Structure 1
Amino acid sequence: MMAARDVLASYEQLLQRSARMLDLARNGDWPELVEEESGYVVAVETIKRLEVDCVLETPEARRKAELLERILEQDGETRRHLQTRRDELGLLIGDQQRQRQASQAYRGGSQVVRMSTRSR
């Protein structure tokens, strides 16, 4: 049977990882955030396995709830930063598409002008 202190220590580590992810999101370090997120997912899976055979007493359950609340708060802020970044990328992609369309229209129009001057 897994000791409650080991489970709580795992949640503490998850909180630290969550804090690193939030810091990376705040700083716009997207590649490093993705790297950290893969470790976060592994840590969550590890906690799931640890908790299968662990029964937490009331004080330990309270501590777990506190840790989870903080993790979820950080996760929410990280997601808001990611949403903002996604929106920025969407605007950039839209701008590039409009530029490409304008360029194609210009090239198409200039070909028509060249063709009409040749036919004279």
Structure 2
Amino acid sequence: MTIAPHLLENYQKLLSFSQEMLRLANEGQWSELIQIEISYASTVEALARCTRDNPLSIKSLEQLRPVLRHLLDNEREIKQLLAKRKDELNRLINQSNRQQSLMSTYASNSGLVLVPRDI
């Protein structure tokens, strides 16, 4: 028994979305990645429904193994890129908070003349 053509087509579509998401993540196009991720998630849901009703045979899974491996590899790389982006955003937020705190401190002391004291 071979895999049904519509299932294979959906797995290929999923792989295409995954490759596009990886490309966008590498290019830092985060908004575009989110748009593709919506289609990716929809395709995953469709495949889950389809395979829940008609589980794949061992032979079909063997046929899909290269596609599944590629999907997992892409997902791992995308997660790594997203983790880097998250760290970058956290750094920017922390920097902004420090600047805001500094400006607040400066503003509260503006107009004061600070004179060194004798020790």
TM-score when normalising by structure 2: 0.85
- Counterpart AA for 1:108: S
Relative to structure 2, which stretch is displaced further, 22-31 or 3-12? 3-12
Matched positions, count: 111
- Counterpart AA for 2:44: V
Distance 1:90 1:55, change over 3 A: closer
After TM superposition, list the pairs within 5 Å mapping 1:1-120 onto structure 2. 4-111=4-111, 113=112
What percentage of aligned pairs have identical amino acids? 32
CA deviations 1:63-103 (Å, max 9, x no partner) are 22221111010011011111101110110011100000000
Runs of 5+ consecutive residues of structure 1 not aligned to the other structure: 115-120
Runs of 5+ consecutive residues of structure 2 not aligned to the other structure: 114-119
Q: Distance in 2 between matches of 1:73 and 1:63?
A: 17
| Structure showing the higher helix proportion among its residues | 1
Q: Distance in 2 between matches of 1:106 and 1:72?
A: 51
CA deviations 1:17-46 (Å, max 9, x no partner) are 000000000000000001111111111000
SS of 2:34's partner is helix
TM-score when normalising by structure 1: 0.84
